[in-house]
Each structure stands twice: as C-alpha cells, then as structure tokens.
Amino acid sequence: MTTLERPQPLLSMAEKTAAIDAICARARILPVITIAREQDILPLADALAAGGIRTLEVTLRSEHGLKAIEVLRAERPELCVGAGTVLDGRMFAAVEAAGAQFVVTPGITPALLDAGVHSDIPLLPGISTPSEIMSGYALGYRRFKLFPAEISGGVAAIKAFAGPFSDIRFCPTGGVNSANARNYMALPNVMCVGGTWMLDSSWIKNGDWARIEASSAEAMALLENNG
C-alpha cells in the first residue's frame, strides 16, 4: 500500500502523545523482554504482573516476539502489551497485526516515523541526538526513547535536552538499572524508564518466577518512592 492509499489515522499526533503519556505514567518501568522459549511467555508475564509491572515491551529480538504479543493480547487482556526493537515498516505492520498497543524503536528512519504518523498505535521512537529529535519533532512527535541512554549522555544529556526541547519527554533505556533509575526518574522531562534488571536471563532459564516477581516488586517500590 502506498502512502497515498493509506487510510488516515483516527488519532492525531497530539492524541497519540497523550496515549504514550498515559502508558508511561501507569508503567514507570518498561521491561525490555526478549522471549527465548515460547513456554516462558505466560509465566514470565504473570511474574512481572504479580510484582506490579503490567505494561510490557516485548521485543522482536527473537523468533517468539510476535507470537508472544499475540498470546498476551489474547490470554492476558488486562496487561498493556507493546512491541520493541521494531526496525522497519514491515515489522511495524507485523506488530500492528499482532495487536501491539504501542511500538518502541531503537532508532529512527523516515519510513518508521511515517509508519507511526499513519497508524493509530502510538510510537515511541528511539533517538540519541538533537538532530534525531528534530526529525521526529517536525512530524509531530513529542515523546522519545533515549537509547542507549547511559552511553548517550545519560542524566546529563536529558537535562541538556530540556533547554531547546522544553515540550519533549523521554523514556531512557540502555544502561538503566536499580542503581541509577531514581536519578532518571527525578528529572521532570523523564516519564518512565526502560530496563532489564528485574529480568535476569538465568532466572528466566531456570523458571525462577518467584525471584522475578520479587525483583519486579522491588523495582516498582524503588520508583514509587522517588517522590
């Protein structure tokens, strides 16, 4: 389908910005989930939810990503399920068809930004430079993922972005952990953080769902007590 043939989205960019705000306000943490085994989909989601993490970013870094989104949307409708590591328009269309409620990308391309403009699924594009912010800004984007956050300047970069981009807010991801998450969340232009520290791969491999639940609860308490 060409750009001229696409149906116009029902939601404006401002409405999609508001949707991202609502998602991030509820989440506080977006767990960056990579599913290695199909049988882990539901118990992992249940462990996270039991610990208070009910907004999930399921990445397409494995062959099970799309299946996980489909299963969770069908079997756990109370959760908010988004798609991460979306790299191109084909992937965007696939996660849209799978039922993703939001989309997160590690970077931006004209095709991805265009896909977000023409979809009713809110897109959180990944950026690491002012020029990338400006590319999205020109199309109406006001919410971005800073990635990889720590090596792209971290807290200091987000503070600096507040000057020229006063209406922009961020979800920093990449190097965010229990030791620095509160520093990010203390910034007025940070709406939530992304991370994996509550998802140790060995816990998932061993089916240690109780440990993931406990770690998730600790992570939520850490940020809820951030003021």
Q: Which of 57, 70, 150, 213 is catalytic?
A: 57
**Phi and psi for 146 in degrees, rounded to 5?**
-85, 115
Active site residue 132: no
Active site residue 145: yes
Query: Which one from 15, 16, 132, 145 is the annotated catalytic residue?
Result: 145
The secondary structure of the chain, three-state, reads: CCHHHCCCCCCCHHHHHHHHHHHHHHHCEEEEECCCCHHHHHHHHHHHHHCCCCEEEEECCCCCHHHHHHHHHHHCCCCEEEEECCCCHHHHHHHHHHCCCCEECCCCCHHHHHHHHCCCCCEECEECCHHHHHHHHCCCCCEEEECCCHHHCHHHHHHHHCCCCCCCEEEEECCCCCCCHHHHHCCCCECCEEECCCCCHHHHHCCCHHHHHHHHHHHHHHHHCCC
Active site residues: 57, 145
